[in-house]
Structure 1
Amino acid sequence: MKISFKYISYFLLFILGLSMTLTSCTSDLDVKPTDDDEFLSDDFFQDPASYKQVMAKLYAGLYVGGNDGDGQADISGLGGDFSSYLRLLFVTQEFPTDEAIVAWSDDGLPAINGQKWSPSNQFLYGIFSRAFYEISVANEFLRQTTDEKLTQRGVDAKLKAEVTTLRAEARFLRAFSYVNLMDLFGNVPITTENDPVGYYFPEQKTRAEVFAFVESELKDMDATLAPSGSNEYGRVDKTAAKFLLAQIYLNSKVYTGTERYNDVATICNEIVTGSAYTFANVPYRYLFSADNNRNGAQSEVIFPIVGDGNAIRAIGGGMSFILHASIGGKMVSADQGMDGGWSGIRTRPEFVQLFPDVNAASDKRGTFFTDGQTLDIADYGVFSNGYAVTKFTNVNSDGSKAQRPDMPDTDFPMYRLSDVYLMYAEATLRGASSGNMTLALEYVNKIRARANAGLITNSELTLDFLLDERGRELFWECHRRTDLIRFGKFTGSSKIWQWKGGVKNGSGTDSFRDLMPIPSRTIQANPTLKQNPGY
């Protein structure tokens, strides 16, 4: 089933009132109250249903940009469609890499295509603001759900127990945002429920300090998160926290200068052997179909961002953005289960060349549309330049129609078990003492067997192969920029792709671009923030 409580409040005009203004970093990012005299946060939480409603707001914020899909925008100065969390993650994790390029000329997008962004880029402001908005909602929820507050409101023991789990989920979603901020921007402020509400300048922390905070949070919340596989579909559990912990350990050398590969292998082994999640023995395409919440693919999805064509009115957000934007040229939108295309996103030739062919004959993951498309991208502003991608679809795995063609049912698999396999293999190759090379090879070949790709030998399992394999297995799942940085391939000249550096044949870029700049609008609002070097 889809997440059951989302219907309660995806379209609820959820108000926490004046005290919910996001002032942790800037004064102009506000929740939009319709009547701030009536809906004050203390009053709102008198209703026992409010706790799940706030959590629905937090989860919905990963997909939509406001209380009414793309409307009622959460963030001042950005439309709801432009401020969808998933959309902004896709823009920042995919467009600067070999996996994707966008044709549109919106202010800031061409610069992201070519790694030429500046602190004034509106999309960088968007992802920074969206992440801190989610943090502010989580913080207010945690302020309002202390034992003291619950006792004052006369909350019964059963609801108190439920709220304990919800608090852990709020902390996870807050940690998820801090990881994205740490990954993209490096040194950022940390605000929690213990900080004052109102206008103030929070202290900017080092990347290593943000890492330590997230690590501590993820470890501590293990005691109160739902056991693995026991939560409602779409809500996180203990395994999601372990996955995020393994993910930051895998990138620990980038974030802190210290390797943590042994911890990666240990945690990944715990997930594989001790969690409720199992590798989905279904065709690869099932994982990205409209019914991926019930066609067998869901067994390996640890953390989905849930889509639902009837319940979510967000044409410009989430999976609606990814699907609409990737349709154009001679593509028949109905073949993708959609009502039209926006002629935006394709992939670059260097990524296509990671696959043995372009028709998915020798690797089922190579889902490219080539009719009328050129492999070469002479002009990235023309959709027919570059092969289109048909990985995600709003068609059920049996070929039947989804609920509606304008907004997809397809869930976005933010974390899945095959990534755990690949993290284990990489950590083992990088020297984890708790890793096992035989097991690492078995995991990689299990992934390749599902794709009908050829199995590899131990000698072929190298770090360069794993970077390519992560691309083949996880492309367009918002991992590529982080992966390329970890492998030393994002900036510089060791890996070149078309339009890297803003030139057709690609060029090396400066290493300072491994970090995005702190948005200039944010620094104007909080002048204590220091800009990243190079900007």
Structure 2
Amino acid sequence: MNKKLPIILTVAGMFLMTTACTDLKEQVLDETLGSTLTDEQTANGLIAPVYALLPELHKHTNYFALQEISTDEAILPYRGGTDWGDNGIYLAMHAHTSVSTDPNIKTTWDNIVQSISRSITAITTLATAKDATSALYLAEARGMRAYYSMMMLDLFGIVFVKEDPGTVSKIIRGADAVSYIESELLAVEPLLQNKATVGPGRLTKAAVWGLLARLYLNAAVYRNIYAPQFTFASTDMDKVIDYTSRIISSGESKLSADYFSIFGNTNHDNTELIFAVDQRPDLNGHNRMAYFSLSGDQFPLAAFPAANGTDGPAITSDFYQSWVQAYGAVDPKRDPRFYKENMSVYTNPADTCLVDADYKVNRGILRGQQYGAIRVNGAFLRCPDGKLRVGKLTNLSRNRNDLPVIFTEKIDFTTAGSGYSSGYRVEKYEFSRVSDTGRNKGEADISILRLADIYLMRAEAKLRKSAGDATALDDVNTVRASRTATTPPPVLTSVTLDLLFRERGFELYWEMVRRTDMIRFGKYEGTWTEKTSTDVHKRIFPIPQTAIDGASNLPGYMQQNTGY
């Protein structure tokens, strides 16, 4: 039972009202706005803003851009010389030439800093709150502050520490930052609830176990971000194995037989999700993940002829070729994680008339000629019986009906490689069934931690301890074998760290972990399409110039990262 209800937010000691709230319980927090707040309403109003910016933070142009477009998984050229130019920020992001005035870097920074600030406000106020839920909310706020701090460390190499909202934060880096985040997560873990009680949209014991595993797995990187090579301590890997094993053995989460259901519109109850951004439409979700990569002439919803794609990023040829190399002469679509066909017209050209309810775009990595609803003069074409007509798509919306929507492998920053059909596209998250524009009302929860990642983290830790650990192969194959809704990918007969890196790409592409993975596996200074920089200082992003300028009255407080 979920209703879109106002949450009373308390930020910096002032009560603010918003409807863009985060559902805090599977039993909805039913607050009533009034001049006098009960203890329960006050506690609810304190914790809500701690989660409230997660959708904005994970928006396609914010954290997604930093974690994906900076890697070999995603590239966003200046489409047709007219779209996604944005003063070259996406070209720079991909080529590792971003500067401290990049607006997407600034927005991501601001969202993290504001979320940390809201967490501190909640922590200090909940410490003296009277409601029975205050102790739990205090633990969640403290744990979320640690999560945001880990994001800040991963992206910018620094962590802010303070307990009193009225004081100046202390800035820490490296090993000190790792120890601080570790201590905070360990402190709150005993006080948190299970996912079965509160759902994946709130911090739980299992979520903290997963965050601890991720912290220990990347600790060597975080302690010495510019190291020529990383030394992964056996004690850290033991902790990764410990915490991932706790999640797996708890039985609280299950691998999903249908891979794409993990990213579907009803995925809030998917058993594989451990921690996620709650994006259900009655919570005013803002998930544009499905809209970002599709063509502007792909209209996925029969009910809404204004809802289309935006010809945004595609995968690079380099990433696509990793699939080709894995499957050789076999088309990689045999892997159920690569592709899911929802429109039979792709294999049976005669199936051109569909009942509206049956019309869904394909999922996964989209290649070649695209089919779908054809919009003419603002309305979809219909068959004589009233069904929706689907057919070969052209760039009709750009007055180029002669130019078919055929996604090609080649994509780069050249004129030829920046066309509207350049690059294989990604439709991993399901297009919202209630979005009238494609740019609003996200339904699919965005995964932060899910069980497949937990298995793969455990496998990696085992391999980093012992290259021949056979149980690491078991973990990888457990994930592969679980996708039984269709024929699962074949089991692997051996696994190395390089193969595990490839496997993480197959399983977790487009899920905002690629940059972190590439750095940890020593591949971020490699060469791929339109990226040749080998500068290790680009492993972290520049601190926004606005943040440095804002701290100008504190000499030496905010120092720009090396290389910017």
- Contact 2:285–2:443, Cα closer than 8 Å, also in 1: no
Q: Which residue of 2 aligns with 1:133?
A: 114
The 8 Å contact of residues 236 and 302 in structure 1, kept in 2 or not, is answered as no
**CA distance, structure 1, for counterparts of residue 538 and residue 154 of structure 2:** 12
Do the aligned partners of 1:16 and 1:44 also contact (CA within 8 Å) in 2?
no
The aligned counterpart of 1:351 is: 319
Q: Give, in whole Å, the separation in 2 of the partners of 1:346 and 1:238.
A: 36
* SS at 1:368 equivalent: strand
Query: How far apart are residue 13 of structure 1 and its match?
Result: 7.2
Q: Verify the 8 A CA contact 1:242 1:267 in the aligned structure 2.
A: yes
The offset of 1:46, in angstroms, is 5.2
Partner of 1:498: 529
Q: C-alpha displacement at 1:330, in angstroms?
A: 5.1
Return the alpha-carbon distance in structure 1 between the equivalents of residues 173 and 36 of structure 2.
36
* TM superposition score normalised by structure 2: 0.74
2:197 paired with 1:226: no
Q: Matches of 1:44 and 1:424 in 2, distance apart?
A: 50
The amino acid of 1:440's aligned partner reads A
Pairing of 1:370-449 with structure 2 (within 5 A): 370=367, 371=369, 372-379=406-413, 381-394=418-431, 401=433, 406=438, 407-431=441-465, 437-449=469-481
- CA drift at 1:522: 0.7
**Map of 2:382 onto structure 1:** none
Is the 8 Å Cα contact of residues 67 and 513 (structure 2) preserved in structure 1? yes
Cα distance between partner residues in 2 of 1:461 and 1:450: 18
Inter-partner Cα distance in structure 2 for 1:236 and 1:313: 19
- Equivalent AA in structure 1 for residue 366 of structure 2: F
CA distance in 2, matches of 1:44, 1:183: 41
| Residue of structure 2 aligned with 1:101, choices 61, 75, 80 | 75
- Tell me, yes or no, if structure 1 residue 331 matches structure 2 residue 293: no
Per-residue CA shift, 1:376-409, capped at 9, x if unaligned?
A: 11436434211111211136xxxxx558674231
Corresponding residue number in structure 2 for 1:213: 180
Counterpart Cα distance in 1 of 2:174 and 2:36: 36
Cα RMSD for the two superposed structures: 2.8
Match of 1:302 in 2: 274
In structure 2, how many angstroms separate the alpha carbons of the residues matched to 1:236 and 1:336?
A: 36
Residue equivalent to 1:40: none
Shift of the 16–516 alpha-carbon distance from structure 1 to 2, 3 Å rule, reads closer
In structure 2, distance between residues paired with 1:271 and 1:172: 17
Q: Distance in 2 between matches of 1:463 and 1:277?
A: 26
Taking a change above 3 Å as real, the CA distance of residues 246 and 227 of structure 1, as seen in their structure-2 partners, is same
Helix, strand or coil at the partner of 1:430: helix
Is 1:288 the counterpart of 2:281? The answer is no
The 1:20/1:174 distance shift into structure 2, 3 A limit, reads: farther
Q: Residue 247 of structure 1 is aligned with which of 207, 214, 232?
A: 214
User: Offset of 1:336 from its aligned partner?
Assistant: 12
Aligned match for 1:121, one of 102, 119, 128:
102
The aligned runs of 1:448-463 (5 Å cut-off) are: 448-451=480-483, 452-457=488-493, 460-463=494-497
The amino acid of 1:496's aligned partner reads T
Q: Alpha-carbon deviation of 1:32?
A: 9.9
Q: 1:215 to 1:436 in 2, by over 3 A?
A: farther
Q: Specify which of 195, 216, 236 is matched with residue 203 of structure 2.
A: 236
Kept in 2: contact 1:310–1:403 (CA 8 A): no
Residue 187 of structure 1: which of 143, 153, 158 is its match?
158
**Residue type of the alignment partner of 2:178:** F
Q: CA deviation at 1:167?
A: 1.2
Give 1:144's aligned residue.
125
Q: Deviations over 1:464-514 (max 9, x none)?
A: 0000100100011110000000011012xxx321111xxxxxx23311101
Tell me, yes or no, if the aligned pair for 2:291 and 2:431 is still in contact at 8 Å. Answer: no
| Structure ranking higher in strand proportion | 2
Count, aligned residues: 452
Residue 55 of structure 2 is matched in structure 1 by 63
The unaligned stretches of length 5 or more in structure 2 are 19-34, 78-83, 225-231, 339-363, 370-405
CA distance in 2, matches of 1:264, 1:185: 23
- Give 2:254's match in structure 1, choosing from 272, 278, 285: 278
Change (3 A) 1:87 1:62: farther
Q: For structure 1, which runs of at least 5 residues remain unmatched after alignment? A: 22-30, 34-42, 65-82, 396-400, 501-506
